[in-house]
Structure 1
Amino acid sequence: MFKIMIVEDDRTIADLIKDALNKWEFQATTVQDFDQVFTQFEQTAPDLVLLDINLPVRDGYYWVKKIRDHSQVPVIFISSRNTNMDMVMAMNLGADDFVEKPFAMEVLIAKINALLRRTYNYQDKSAVTLTVGGLTLDLKTGMAIVNGEEINLSKNEYKLLQLLMRAHGEVLSRSHLLKDLWTDERFVDDNTLTVNINRLRKKIEAAGLPNYIQTKVGQGYMVK
Structure 2
Amino acid sequence: MEWVKRGAPVLIAEDDQKTGTLVAAYLEREGFRTRLSHDGREALDMARSETPLLVILDLMLPGADGWEVCQTLRRDSDVPIVILSARQEELDRILGFTLGADDYVMKPFSPRELVARVKAILRRTRSQPLASKTRLSHGGLVLDLEKRVATLNNRRLALTPSEYCLLKTLMSSPGRVFERTELLTALYPDGEAVVDRVVDVHVGKLRQKIGDDPVRPSIILTVRGMGYQLAEAAAT
When the two structures are superposed, what TM-score results if normalisation uses the length of structure 1? Answer: 0.71
Structure 2 segments unaligned to the other structure (5+ residues): 213-217
3-state SS of 1:38 partner: helix
For residue 142 of structure 2, what is the aligned residue in structure 1? 135
For residue 174 of structure 1, what is the aligned residue in structure 2? 179
For residue 9 of structure 1, what is the aligned residue in structure 2? 15
User: Equivalences for 1:1-224 in 2 at 5 Å?
Assistant: 1-2=3-4, 3-31=9-37, 34-121=40-127, 131-133=135-137, 135-137=142-144, 144-145=150-151, 148-153=154-159, 157-164=163-170, 173-175=178-180, 176-181=182-187, 184-188=194-198, 202=211, 220-221=229-230
Residue identity opposite 2:101 in structure 1: A
1:158 offset after TM fit, Å? Answer: 3.2
Distance (Å, rounded) in 1 between the aligned partners of 2:91 and 2:107: 16
The count of residues paired between Structure 1 and Structure 2 equals 207
Distance (Å, rounded) in 2 between the aligned partners of 1:197 and 1:53: 24
3-state SS of 2:28 partner: helix
Distance (Å, rounded) in 1 between the aligned partners of 2:146 and 2:11: 17
Residue identity opposite 1:109 in structure 2: V
8 A contact 2:77–2:158 mirrored in 1: no
3-state SS of 1:56 partner: coil
1:189 offset after TM fit, Å? Answer: 7.3
3-state SS of 2:76 partner: coil
Root mean square deviation, CA, Å: 4.0
Give the share of equivalent positions with the same residue, in percent: 28
Distance (Å, rounded) in 2 between the aligned partners of 1:187 and 1:213: 16
Distance (Å, rounded) in 2 between the aligned partners of 1:99 and 1:11: 18
**Cα shift readout 1:137-190 (whole Å, capped 9, x = no counterpart):** 5999x862356433344776434224456x579x67233124434762433576
3-state SS of 1:35 partner: helix
Distance (Å, rounded) in 1 between the aligned partners of 2:18 and 2:146: 32
3-state SS of 1:73 partner: coil
Residue identity opposite 1:28 in structure 2: T
When the two structures are superposed, what TM-score results if normalisation uses the length of structure 2? Answer: 0.68
3-state SS of 2:83 partner: strand
8 A contact 1:79–1:100 mirrored in 2: yes
Distance (Å, rounded) in 1 between the aligned partners of 2:151 and 2:94: 30
